[in-house]
């Protein structure tokens, strides 16, 4: 596999690394690749956990507002619908894409790639799908959405009692699980499997 150094653009032919091994650029010494132990197992575990969390985050109530004996529960999709109803359609679409659709596609895509690789098989159209996942990954900006929710909670706390729902906790956990999924996946291993395919 040929890899360009991120610092000086020198091309290197990378060979499979031993457990815990590190490949460095021969010119500038920058780290080209670190071997991630049990990458497929850990990625698969995090992706399955992420799939469960994303179902919980989109099924159960996100927040409940209590004011003068009245209780109003909201879900993630309710917020998108409200933005759309209040003529903020572009914002509604952006929130839907970055906090619901893109994370779901990313998790399902990772499972689509990792499960066959665990069975020593190559998924159909692996290069295209893996590149697509690498491109959409940064668009899953759940932490930005969470920051907006926290700001809204601080402002609404004076008007009503706010009760966090199961979905909120699942959403917070999902942010960390998605980050762990991305960090545990060894992209070099995926390309190596593709190069060594018969």
pTM of the model as a whole: 0.80
Digitized pLDDT (tens) for each residue of the chain, 198 residues in all? 677 888 888 888 777 777 777 888 888 888 877 778 888 999 999 999 999 999 999 999 888 777 777 777 888 888 888 888 888 889 889 889 888 899 999 999 999 999 999 988 888 988 899 999 988 888 877 777 777 777 777 777 777 777 888 998 999 999 999 999 998 998 878 877 776 665
CA 107 to each of CA 9, 34, 78, 91, 131: distance values in angstroms, whole numbers, following the listed order: 31, 23, 22, 23, 14
Task: Return the bridge partners of 164, or none.
Answer: 63
pLDDT at site 197: 62
Q: How far apart are CA 67 and CA 135, in angstroms?
A: 43
Backbone Cα Rg of the chain: 21
Per the document, the length of the chain is 198
Could you tell me the two tokens for 63? 């927040």
């Amino acid at each position: 596999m040929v890899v360009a150094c991120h610092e000086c653009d020198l091309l290197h032919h990378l060979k499979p690394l031993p457990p815990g091994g590190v490949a460095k650029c021969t010119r500038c010494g920058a780290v080209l690749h670190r071997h991630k132990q049990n990458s497929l197992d850990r990625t698969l575990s995090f992706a399955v956990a992420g799939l469960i969390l994303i179902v919980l985050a989109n099924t159960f109530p996100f927040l409940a507002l209590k004011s003068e004996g009245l209780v109003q529960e909201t879900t993630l999709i309710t917020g998108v619908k409200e933005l759309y109803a209040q003529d903020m359609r572009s914002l509604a679409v952006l929130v839907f894409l970055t906090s619901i659709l893109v994370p779901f596609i990313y998790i399902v895509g990772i499972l689509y790639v990792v499960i066959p690789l665990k069975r020593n098989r190559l998924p159909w159209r692996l290069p295209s799908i893996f590149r697509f996942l690498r491109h959409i990954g940064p668009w899953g900006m759940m932490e930005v959405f969470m920051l907006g929710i926290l700001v809204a909670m601080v402002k609404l706390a004076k008007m009503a009692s706010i009760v966090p729902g199961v979905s909120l906790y699942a959403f917070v956990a999902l942010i960390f699980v998605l980050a762990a999924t991305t960090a545990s996946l060894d992209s070099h291993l995926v390309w190596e499997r593709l190069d060594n395919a018969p």
